[in-house]
Structures are given as structure tokens and as C-alpha cells.
Amino acid sequence: MAMAGYTKLFNSILASTIWRADDKTRIVWITLLAMADKHGVAEGSVPGLADFARVSVPACRRALEALAAPDPDSRSQEHDGRRIQAVDGGWQLLNYDKYRTRLNADERREYFRLHKQRQRAAQKSSDVQIVQDKSTLSTQAEAEAEAEAKKNVRTQTRVLTRRNNTLAAEDDAQWTRFWDAYPKRVSKKDARKAWAQIQPSSAVVDRMLETLRVQCQQLDWLKDGGQFIPYPASWLRAARWEDEPVGIPLMSDKTVGTLAAAAVILKGTA
């Protein structure tokens, strides 16, 4: 079970409804954050997660149920306030991309702060006396360079924000191919955002559809009314079409669509 290098906790977690949860649920949530990879997927089993979090297996199961349940009081109502989604081999942390973007912006600001701090320390330790009549032109050039660097950071942040809020066009032929083929068509707006961020080519879409046909047979996605099928946005952000397929005969698109419809009906009558 691979662990990430580090995880930043934003102070806004103190205002989150998760902070009102019991201690074991909070510990399991923070442990999942630390385990997540760059796609927001925490791989592992329930006993393994319980060991990392230092809680009992029953307590870990209760915490996972709470984190996967809708939260009407959550500040973010994407996914109805759910924090995780069970996926094959572990759990997908929902809204992970939003906080990853925020983290990248924070890291850039921290880089410039440390860079300036090192410059000041070097000036204090230097035995060279600063020339009093330093060129005004040189000083202005340094100020302009620093201002340009800050401007670039703001521009990159705005570009990332716009990209994360962009939706795939409803009449995009490639998007329509994917959406019509996916066996669990929920949270469409979030899926359109993920699609706009990826902007896959026609060849990649072909690979997506082939992989979906295999996964519908291999991963028990249709088990228990399809509850283990990941949300389409989570599937896209985790690049699940790159999973290694198992070499068995594939079902036709018509058969996959029929099974997906049956799964939805079974879930509605459960």
C-alpha cells in the first residue's frame, strides 16, 4: 500500500462539518488524505486502513460509511456532501482536484516567500558593503522582475481556476460517446468538468470505451445494483481507462447498455 510524500491540511477543516464527527471518523479521514495519490485515490483494504489509522476494524467501517454518506450541512454540496466513493482497490476522495489546485497555488506563494527570505539572509551575512549610490535603473529592474513573477503566479492561478470550472459542451461528439456508454450516468456537471480538463482525442475515447466494456465484466460493477461503479468524474480523473485489461472476450455496446439499465432499475427497487 503506497503512501504519499506529505499532505497539507488547510485550516478551513476546522470549520468543516467533519470536525464535528467523532474522533475515529476524523482520524480515518485524515489517514485517507495522507494515503491519497496524485489522483485522489487511496488504495488499500479496510483492515489495512484501520491499522494505519490505529482504530479497530469495526470503527473503521463505521467511519467509511459516514464519509461516504450525504452530508446536507457540508459547505460544498458537490456529490451531495459525500467525501469518498468506494472504487476498485480502495477509495476515491471526492473534490480532491479542487484542493490540489489550491495547494499548487499555495506552494508557488511559499516558493517566492522562501526565495525572498534567502535573498535577505545572504545580504545580511555578506561582508561586502552595499554601495549607497546603487543605480536607480538596477533597482527598478529588480522591482519589475519581482512584480512580473507575482503577475505570472496570479495568471497561472486564474488559468487553473478557469480550466477547473470549464464544462464539456453538451454537443461534443466525443463527450456524448463516453456519456452514452458509461454505465452510471450521475453527477453529469462534475463529469463534464473532468472531461474538459482532459480533452481526450478520438483515439483515447476509443480506448476508454473498450476499457469500459472490459471493466463492466471484470470489476463486478453491476453487483448489488451497480453501487460499486465509480462516478464518471472519478473514473476520468483517475485515468481508469489506463488500467491493465484482462484478455477475455468483450461484450457488445448494446449488451453493456442493457446491463447498465438493469443495474439502475435494480438499484431503484432495492
Q: Convert 171-202 to b/e letters by CB count within 10 Å (16 or more is b).
A: ebebbebbbebbbbeebeebbbbbbbbeebee
The CA distance from 53 to 27, in Å, is 6
Phi-psi region of 199 (alpha: psi -120 to 50; beta: other; left: phi over 0): left
The CA distance from 100 to 95, in Å, is 9
Domain ranges of the chain: 11-94, 98-165, 173-269
DSSP count for the chain of H helices, then E strands: 10, 3
What integer pLDDT is reported at residue 165 of this predicted model?
Answer: 66
What integer pLDDT is reported at residue 111 of this predicted model?
Answer: 65
What integer pLDDT is reported at residue 80 of this predicted model?
Answer: 86
For domain 11-94, which CATH number applies: 1.25.40, 1.10.1660, 1.10.10, 3.30.300? Answer: 1.10.10
CA distances, 38 to each of 34, 163, 177, 218, 232 (Å): 11, 18, 27, 25, 18
Question: Are 74 and 95 spatial neighbours (Cβ–Cβ below 8 Å)?
Answer: no
User: What cell was used for 49?
Assistant: 486502513
Burial class (CB in 10 A: 0-12, 13-18, 19+), 143: exposed
Question: Are 200 and 174 spatial neighbours (Cβ–Cβ below 8 Å)?
Answer: yes
**What is the reported pTM?**
0.38
The mean pLDDT values, 10 residues at a time, for the chain of 270 residues are 56 80 92 90 93 95 93 82 91 83 66 78 69 63 76 60 72 93 91 93 93 78 77 92 65 58 55
